[in-house]
Amino acid sequence: MLNIVIFGAPGSGKGTQSERIVEKYGINHISTGDVLRAEIKNGTELGKTAKGYIDQGQLIPDELMIDILASVFDSFKDSKGVIFDGFPRTIAQAEALKKMLAERGQDVSVMVDLDVPEEELMVRLIKRGKDSGRADDNEETIKKRLHVYHSQTAPLIDWYKNEKKYQHINGLGTMEGIFAEICEAVDKL
């Protein structure tokens, strides 16, 4: 099983690259952000809870995210692997993911870190907000999300280095060029 964690700040290209990876390697995609946005759209209880956090640029509590993740993961049948997009976002979530996979006889194969400078992230997210109307892509919420990324999510870089799963990717460049770099790393596994 090929279990890829795609990692990076908001706007680093996780969603964009995940689509290509899913197509090439035939694995399943779990975007926790997409799952939550769908729940919000459908007006479910989970969606109502999630909306409060998302509108504030905050993370959803770990226990809730972990439950959602395990249930989506277990819904895949005859899976060749999964790309985790937007999860884990905290060290507690990384530990929970490791445990969840270990209980199923699996592990993370690689953590791909899309490294993009802050100025470029701002430009991309403001543009995404205009094009797609994503509610949390406004300047104020973006700033909060980048702060949350630096304080709660970036520590995962050292955590995955310690696990010997870390792969740095320069996330600045064409989408095709970045994808080629990711494939080179994945094909070496």
| Residue 8 binding ligand ADP, by CB under 6 A | yes
* Cα R_g (the chain), whole angstroms: 16
Q: Would you say 13 is a known binding-site residue?
A: yes
Which candidate, 32, 38, 149, places its Cα nearest to that of 86? 32
| Residue 57 binding ligand ADP, by CB under 6 A | no
Question: Looking at 48-56, 67-75, 147-155, 170-178, which segment touches ligand ADP (CB under 6 A)?
Answer: 170-178
Q: What residues have CB less than 8 Å from 162, skipping those under 6 apart?
A: none
Alpha helices in 42-171 (DSSP H): 45-55, 62-75, 91-102, 118-132, 139-148, 156-162
| Residue 20 binding ligand ADP, by CB under 6 A | no
Q: Which is nearer to ligand ADP, 34 or 95 (CB)?
A: 34
What residues from 112 to 131 belong to the interface with ligand ADP (CB under 6 A)? 124, 127-128
Length of the chain, in residues: 189
Q: What are phi and psi of 89, to 5 degrees?
A: -120, -5
> In this structure, which amino acid lies at residue 87?
F
Which residue numbers are catalytic? 14, 89, 128, 134, 145
SS3 83: strand
Q: Which is nearer to ligand ADP, 14 or 37 (CB)?
A: 14
Question: Looking at 9-17, 66-74, 101-109, 150-158, which segment touches ligand ADP (CB under 6 A)?
Answer: 9-17
Calpha distance 126→72 (Å, rounded)? 30
Cis peptide, bond prior to residue 61, ω within 30 of zero: no
Q: Which is nearer to Mg ion, 34 or 95 (CB)?
A: 34
List the binding residues for AMP: 32, 37, 58-60, 86-89, 93, 134, 145
Contact positions vs ligand ADP (CB under 6 A): 8, 10-16, 124, 127-128, 173, 175, 178
The binding site comprises 11-16, 32, 37, 58-60, 86-89, 93, 128, 134, 145, 173
